[in-house]
Chain A
Amino acid sequence: MGRIVGIDLGTTNSLVAYVDAQTGQPRCITGPYGSTLCPSIVSLDPDGSVIVGEAARRRLLTQPERTIYSVKRLMGRGPADVQNELQLFPFRIDPQSKNVIRVMLGDKMFTPPEISAFILRELRNWAESYLEEPVDRAVITVPAYFNDAQRQATKDAGRIAGLEVLRLVNEPTAAALAYGLHEKQRGHVAVYDLGGGTFDISILKLISTSEGDIYQVLSTNGDTHLGGDDIDNLLQTFVHERIRETEDLDFSPHGELAQDLRKSLIAAKHELSEKESITLRFALPGGKTFVHNFSRADFEALIQNVVARTMGPVKQALADAHLAPAAIEEVVLVGGTTRTPLIRRTVQEFFGRKLHTELNPDEVVALGAAVQANILERGVSDMLLLDVTPLSLGIETYGGAVSKIIPRNSTIPASAQEQYTTGVDNQTGIDIHVLQGERELAKDCRSLARFTLKVPPAPAGLPRIEVGFLIDANGILQVAAKDMRTGEQHSIEVQPSYGINDTEIERMLEESIEYAEQDFAERQLIEARTESEAILSATTKALANPQSAEIPAAERSNIEAAVATLKQSVAGTNYKLIRKRIDELNHATEHLAELLMNSAVTTALAGRNLAEV
């Protein structure tokens, strides 16, 4: 079996992390562009290949109709749920979509889990290249306030990416895990997590026992559609209106112009976290330039509502934990959006505590996921996570009311048993509708599943069937039924209201392999060959350089020998051998590289091997 990694599948950026066996500390893996952040952007090339991350970000401007961002907003949702998103996001949704949304990239359609799976595969590739080992299992984080359908969609994405998802961990809980490990702090901790598209608040109790440390979540609350995206949308609407006042311009969200503007506004937003005021300049078609002076005060007035919307859930979470703000000893900030000064001020004033921002708010969730992955990999541990279900589970009763059977903030796994019988003679089925949410009427709650309990024909009231509802450690619902008279277990086919079934997932898995994947060894071989090509051509060039005449003849023949053995290994298929020969050649050319670097021809370069000179 391969390695287990921790993955933060974010709205804006995604990351992959692992625990270093030597130090026992979690670390994020750096991708090919030198950053640990992989933009959660997917683009479908006209040739059919899929491009993910930084390279896809560049295509947002050039091929917006083939490129998608913030797909997390669509996970586990139906077409009717996302009408608001369509106003400002360039999602092109297949009008034929029924329960599960299908998004168009070019002329092809994908479900949100399939698109998320492309991101997961990319991160898996990062991890496999870095660790030089196959990776086949993962812990993936989800917003704590994700409902059953959103969690199931995330798990499906993992399966489509060929990863066994060992656990879904709530993002604020993962952050607390990384934080607790780092600070060794105990007591009541609040995690305020405002990311690109989701907001979570979790209240935890960190307990030291003789067996080890326990991270017990007391309560959680949030909004799965509130985040930095909303700030970007406010800025965008604001500027669109200013420009419309003077120009006649089309700002449909699909247009290149809108994407270009959005990019500048995001940069402006980041800058306003550091500076008191900025001047926004944006080139308009026809040679004109839009200029606007933005002070931080203007910006804060604009986004005040977004910040205020986070405080309702914060108060509810505290009330559910039976704690006053002053009872919270530490406040941890997570998510890139918490860099906004207004948010820091608001949270600090509310709790009356200094905020913890030591850990990188972009990385802390992935680091925590890696810690949990490590706990699961080892099987036994001195750390235990006790999480809760964010939403009450209920069943529909007479008149469309909801009877709550597992209250929100119950520690998971949690279960409830309900007894059912028939109302008329020889009734063969009982309809059951399972819902999630806090409202009293079924129509106001989230429908999770509907199913019919099969009953053997009998006089009314005689059958006794117990239905067991169980929320597992991932926050996902399982249902089983038992005939109380015979003791017989019934398996129940639960068709999720907003999910994909197993057959579809299998098909998607096969298709996704066609899109991207070669197996691990094959990909390593391709990468090693590409790298050797680069170093071989750099070596040839260096040896042709007049400066190289200064190296001794013995050294030159050493280099030539290393070149020959590398060429030989490239003809084979052993990527490890190729890597070894590359290292040898790099070693042989160290002196030559130095020589060329020192010469007047080259500028200050930090690298030491020839390919970089």
Chain B
Amino acid sequence: MDGLEQKFLQFSWKLHPDNFVNTDEREREISLQRSSRLNDAYRVLRDPVARVEYLLELEGMRKEGEHKQQAPPELLEEVFELNESLDELREAKSAGANLDTLAAKLRAAEKNFGEKLHEVDAEMKTAAQQWDAALDANASESDREAILQRLNELLNRRSYIRNLVAGVEKELQGATC
């Protein structure tokens, strides 16, 4: 059991509404508010992506609804190709043509971007560890700023790739049924 889970369970013993069934309404209400906040916090902190999002929000790096959606430069070529294949698939679908070759091509692309997603996750994990280390080492503000920038970039790249994969999945589902 990791430290986060242990803390979560410890607080749960104290705050859970089960402990307050026989108390007055005010205490029951407070227990409900606090235990829901505890659960919300655990939900965010144990998910590596949500955790980074929360950190960036906390540090003022990311505001709600502000998501960069341009393609990361190093992916431009592949994204261009993918979009072309997606267009072809849509056309082929409306023309009632055979979809097998196109679908296979898209599946390969989906797999490729899926792997890229794993890479981003790994990079994000490393950057997050760097952040923890920087905090522990009392690193300078500019060093910390640089890590946050990096995390922000990774998060943007991640959400971009994820949307791509989801889009391909959706088109492929339509192609098979």
Interface of A toward B, CB cutoff 8 Å: 166-167, 207, 209, 211-212, 214, 216, 375-376, 379-381, 384-386, 407, 410-416, 470-473
Which residues 18-58 in B have Cβ within 8 Å of A in the complex? 18-19, 21-22, 32-33, 35-37, 39-40, 42-43
Q: Which of B9-17, B74-82, B98-106, B127-135 contacts A (4 or more CB under 8 A)?
A: B9-17
Decide if B17 touches A211 in the complex (CB within 8 Å): no
B43 neighbours in A (Cβ, 8 Å): 407, 410-411, 414
Name A380's contact: one of B10, B19, B40 (CB within 8 Å): B19
A209 to B39, CA, bound (A): 18
Q: A209-B9, A410-B43, A411-B42 are in contact. Are A379 and B19 (CB under 8 A)?
A: yes
Chain B residues with Cβ under 8 A from A412's Cβ?
A: 36, 39
Complex partner residue of A384 from B13, B36, B39, B42, CB under 8 angstroms: B13
What are the 7 tightest A-B residue pairs by CB atom distance, in nearest-first order? A413-B36, A415-B36, A411-B39, A376-B21, A473-B17, A379-B22, A211-B13
Q: Closest CB of chain B to A528's CB: distance in Å?
A: 33
Q: Which residues of chain A have C-beta atoms less than 8 A from B35's C-beta?
A: 413, 473
What is the interface of chain B mostly: helix, strand, loop, or mixed? helix
Docked pose: A559 CA to B9 CA in angstroms: 64
Q: Which residue of B lies closest to A412 (CB)?
A: B39
> Do A376 and B18 form a contact, CB below 8 Å, given A414-B36, A415-B36, A470-B36?
yes
Contact indicator B9/A207 (Cβ below 8 Å): yes
Q: A423 to nearest B CB, angstroms?
A: 15
Q: List 30 A-B contacts (CB under 8 A).
A: A167-B18, A209-B9, A209-B13, A211-B13, A214-B9, A216-B9, A376-B21, A376-B22, A379-B19, A379-B21, A379-B22, A380-B19, A381-B18, A407-B43, A410-B39, A410-B43, A411-B39, A411-B42, A411-B43, A412-B36, A413-B32, A413-B39, A414-B40, A414-B43, A415-B33, A416-B40, A470-B33, A472-B17, A473-B18, A473-B32
Give the contact-size bracket for chain B.
20 to 34
Smallest CB gap from A385: residue in B: B18
Contacting pair A415 B12 (CB below 8 A): no
The CA of A384 and the CA of B9, in the complex, are separated in Å by 10
The interface residues of chain A lying within 8 Å CB-to-CB of B22 are 376, 379
CB of A417, distance to nearest CB on chain B (Å): 9
Q: In the bound complex, how far is the Cα of B33 from the Cα of A414, in angstroms?
A: 9
Q: A246 CB to closest chain B CB, in angstroms? A: 40
CB of A384 within 8 A of CB of B21, answer no
A470-B32 contact in complex given A413-B17, A413-B39, A416-B40, C-beta closer than 8 Å: yes
Q: Which residue of A lies closest to B31 (CB)?
A: A413
Output the nearest chain B residue to A376 by Cβ-Cβ distance. Answer: B21
Let me know if B21 and A166 touch, CB within 8 A.
yes
B9, B16, B22, B36 pick with most chain A CB within 10 angstroms? B36
Assess the B17–A384 pair: CB atoms within 8 A.
Answer: no
CA distance A415 to B35 in the complex (A): 10
A residues in contact with B13, CB < 8 Å: 209, 211-212, 384
**Measured between alpha carbons, how far is A376 from B31 in the docked complex, in Å?**
14
Chain A residues lying within 8 Å of B10, measured Cβ to Cβ, are: 209, 211
Q: Are B18 and A384 in contact (CB under 8 A)?
A: yes
Could you tell me if A384 and B16 are in contact, using CB atoms closer than 8 angstroms? yes
Give the chain B neighbours of A207 by CB distance below 8 A.
1, 9
List, in ascending order, chain A residues with CB within 8 A of B12's CB. Answer: 214, 384, 386
Which residue from chain B places its CB closest to the CB of A214 in the assembled complex? Answer: B9
B21 proximity list for chain A (CB < 8 A): 166-167, 376, 379
Assuming the A-B contacts A207-B9, A209-B9, A472-B32, are A415 and B18 also in contact, with contact meaning beta carbons closer than 8 angstroms in the complex?
no
Docked CA distance A46–B128 (Å): 72
CA distance A211 to B13 in the complex (A): 8
Point out the residue from B1, B16, B32, B37 that lies within 8 Å of A386, measured CB to CB. Answer: B16
Q: CB-CB < 8 A to A376: which residues of B?
A: 18, 21-22
CA distance A473 to B38 in the complex (A): 13
Neighbouring B residues of A375 by C-beta, 8 Å: 18
Residue of B nearest to A1 (CB): B22
Q: Which residues of B contact A166 (CB under 8 A)?
A: 21
A413–B31 alpha-carbon span in the complex (Å): 10
B47 → chain A closest CB, angstroms: 10
Distance (Å) between the CB of A204 and the closest chain B CB?
A: 14
- B46 smallest CB distance to A (angstroms): 10
**Residue interface mask B72-104, A partner, CB < 8 A = 1:** 000000000000000000000000000000000
- Residues in B with CB closer than 8 Å to A386 are 12, 16
Q: Shortest beta-carbon distance, B21 to chain A, in Å? A: 5
CA gap between A573 and B16 in the complex, in Å:
45
- B19: A residues at CB distance < 8 A: 379-381
Cβ of B36: which chain A residues have Cβ within 8 Å of it?
A: 412-415, 470-471
Extra pairs beyond A413-B39, A473-B17 (7, CB < 8 Å): A207-B1, A381-B19, A407-B43, A411-B43, A470-B32, A470-B33, A473-B35
CA distance A20 to B88 in the complex (A): 70
Q: Bound state CA distance, A216 and B18, in angstroms?
A: 14
Q: How far is the CA of A412 from the CA of B33 in the complex (A)?
A: 11
Q: Could you say which residues of chain B place their CB within 8 Å of the CB of A212?
A: 13
Distance from A419 Cβ to chain B, minimum over Cβ atoms (Å): 8
Closest-CB distance, B18 to chain A (whole angstroms): 6
Interface residues as binary, B138-151 with A (CB distance below 8 Å gives 1, 0 otherwise): 00000000000000
Q: How far is the CA of A166 from the CA of B18 in the complex (A)?
A: 9
